[in-house]
Chain A
Amino acid sequence: MKGNQLYLDGVTVMFDGFRALNNLSIIVEPGEMRAVIGPNGAGKTTMMDVITGKTRPTKGTVRFGDHDLTRMDEAAIANLGIGRKFQKPTVFDALTVFENLELALKAPRGPFACLRWALGGAARSRIEQVQDEIGLTARAGDRAAILSHGQRQWLEIGMLLMQDPQLLLVDEPVAGMTDQETEHTAALLRRIAGERSVVVVEHDLEFVRALGQKVTVLHEGTMLSEGAIDHVQNDPRVIEVYLGR
């Protein structure tokens, strides 16, 4: 079942009087891919923090289907089927590529279940399949610490795939990548989107154009404009924020 709507209404986050998010409302339909852009400090990452339970909103509603995300912790939200990729790739350096994927694989998460866990044939072939998809089969036994920056990004995307989330939140997936890696990543994201909802936060307008999806522009913690990339790029308010002043 992949049918939950992400619903943010009137969300405000205050940090010491500073409004990181200001009455933000966004709806992402099931299966939709949405790009969120905006200058530095627009509240993109804070929005992700609110959805994944890292930050509690001062005010407003955050729902995923019937679930009130403001009342759940990170682990519970993750188990609900919301996966997150961080801006800075965070994989587990001391573990191998295979072990990183194994940890992300959907399976009981309690300490005792982990203690008794035995890698079955189905799990192994699922891990190998994802390993192949992200192009790291040859590195299966290498520790994540020795991967290149791009490979770490892909490994993290692979871990999200293992979680099989309904909603994927991807924070600046191509920051610091070469052009070739960027292309590969865009293709990877389009392929894994499938029937999932995906929210991609990005700086890079060319990358957003390559994704070819509906775009939301954030500015100073609130929504400035929404629509197709050509529409928002011609919106005078967006032009002012990006170029003006």
Chain B
Amino acid sequence: MSATLADPAPSRLRLGLRAATIAVVIALAAMPLLNRLPVDSAFHVSDFLVSITGKWICYAILALAIDLAWGYAGLLSLGHGAFFALGGYAIGMHLMRLIGPRGSYGHPVLPDFMVFLGYTELPFFWWGFQSFPYALFMALFIPGLLAGIVGFLAFRSRITGVYFSIITQAMTYALMLAFFRNDMGLGGNNGFTDFKELLGQPLNTALARSSLFYAALLSLVGVYFLCAYITRSKLGRVLIAIRDAESRVRFLGYSVTQAKLFVFVLSGMIAGLAGALYVPLVGIINPGEFAPTNSIEAVIWVAVGGRGTLIGAALGAFSVNAIKTWLTSVAPDLWLFALGGLFVAVTLLLPRGLLGLVRKGDR
């Protein structure tokens, strides 16, 4: 435990924060149930609110992934949207395979876009995706592998700071261009959509929707505890030390490359999981998910909530997206200005984010 002899007892604010977090999780868990109430009930929650909250839960998982890498190890990735999208594509490939002969062209194996493009057989990288466990594994493995390769090359060459951020941004941009190409065999421009079922359940039922919602919520809680376990371990302290004085950590005999690689790969995998949960919920994945702005927006969620706090990252994902949903419906043209303004305001006025207001003594 990070608690040392002289660690002060948790303050009242901290206890309050913990209680508030638990209350929020319980409220989230109740949403699909309240959705079943009659529409005229005072406690009824609309379909729209449930579905958008499900999306935000996935975003919160992505935010935790970014906070683990950025808030603790100081790795500001501007390409986490790529890991998210790759996880989404892996599950999307599974969902496409499950459509089977129900596609417009009625081909027993090939998805519609392949028939349209004149494919006669399934490309090798689509093999195995009819299996859900395999697709789920790939949703974690491919983002982890990409994070491992990019991280290994960058950390071994001691690329840090803004240069690392630029490399990750270029990575997601390059992937976006690649995925836009039709001959990638991944749906090109249109991506994947029109999914029918998952795990034997038709996706358009209330049961499927609430199951996906609960899968996301459980994952959020699980990922939070995993991140909390890591950041409270000695490894967490090593990561903070790397963030603040990297070369000193080397002279203590720690391999900075290994520690960074561990956290970056894990973070990429968590982002992949978030994408895998997201795609069945929203019913579509296309190359737009790789857009550099998505990655930057996700970093802003973490900055707004408070980096290096975990809870703050999740809070930031929910609050910024709530503002986005509201503002894009009342004044869509203002959203990007508001996002930029929010980032500047938080950096200047709340360098430790919303959570910095509560947790004064944190690091």
Contact = CB atoms under 8 A, between A and B. Distances in A.
A140 to B, nearest CB: 5
Interface string A138-179: 001111000000000000000100010000000000000000
B245 A90 contact: yes
Interface residues of B, number: 33
Contacts, number: 98
Given A95-B240, A141-B7, A114 B256 contact: no
Contact of B240 (A73, A84, A94, A104): A94
A2 interface: no
B241 A103 contact: yes
A96 B4 contact: yes
B258 interface: yes
A79 interface: yes
B252 A104 contact: yes
A140 B5 contact: yes
B254 A75 contact: yes
Contact of B253 (A78, A98, A116, A119): A78
Interface string A115-127: 1110100000000
A112 B255 CA distance: 12
B4 A140 contact: yes
Contacts of A244: none
A216 to B, nearest CB: 22
A95 B251 contact: no
A79 B4 CA distance: 26
Contacts of B249: 103
B233 interface: yes
- Specify the main secondary structure of chain A where it touches its partner: mixed
Choose among B1, B4, B263 the residue with the greatest number of A CB atoms under 10 Å from its CB: B4
Nearest to B241: A92
A154 B37 CA distance: 65
B238 to A, nearest CB: 5
A75 B237 contact: no
A202 interface: no
B178 to A, nearest CB: 31
B234 interface: yes
Contacts of A96: 4, 6-7
Contacts of B256: 75
B2 interface: yes
B334 interface: no
Contact of A98 (B5, B238, B241): B5
Contacts of A98: 4-6
A115 B248 contact: no
B247 A54 contact: yes
Contact of B255 (A75, A86, A119): A75
Interface residues of A, number: 38
A74 interface: yes
Contacts of A142: 6
B139 to A, nearest CB: 23
Contacts of A78: 250-253
A17 interface: no
Contacts of A119: 1
B17 to A, nearest CB: 20
Contacts of B241: 92, 95, 103
Nearest to A89: B248
Contacts of A112: 262
Contacts of A111: 235, 238, 258-259, 262-263
A84 B251 contact: yes
List 6 tightest A-B contacts by C-beta distance, closest first. A141-B6, A78-B253, A94-B363, A74-B250, A114-B235, A111-B262
Given A93-B244, A109-B254, 17 more contacts: A74-B250, A83-B251, A92-B244, A92-B248, A103-B234, A103-B237, A103-B238, A103-B254, A110-B258, A111-B262, A115-B233, A115-B234, A117-B234, A140-B4, A142-B6, A143-B363, A159-B252
Interface of A: 52, 54, 73-76, 78-79, 83-84, 86, 90-96, 98-99, 102-104, 109-112, 114-117, 119, 140-143, 159, 163
Interface of B: 1-2, 4-8, 230, 233-235, 237-238, 240-241, 243-245, 247-256, 258-259, 262-263, 363
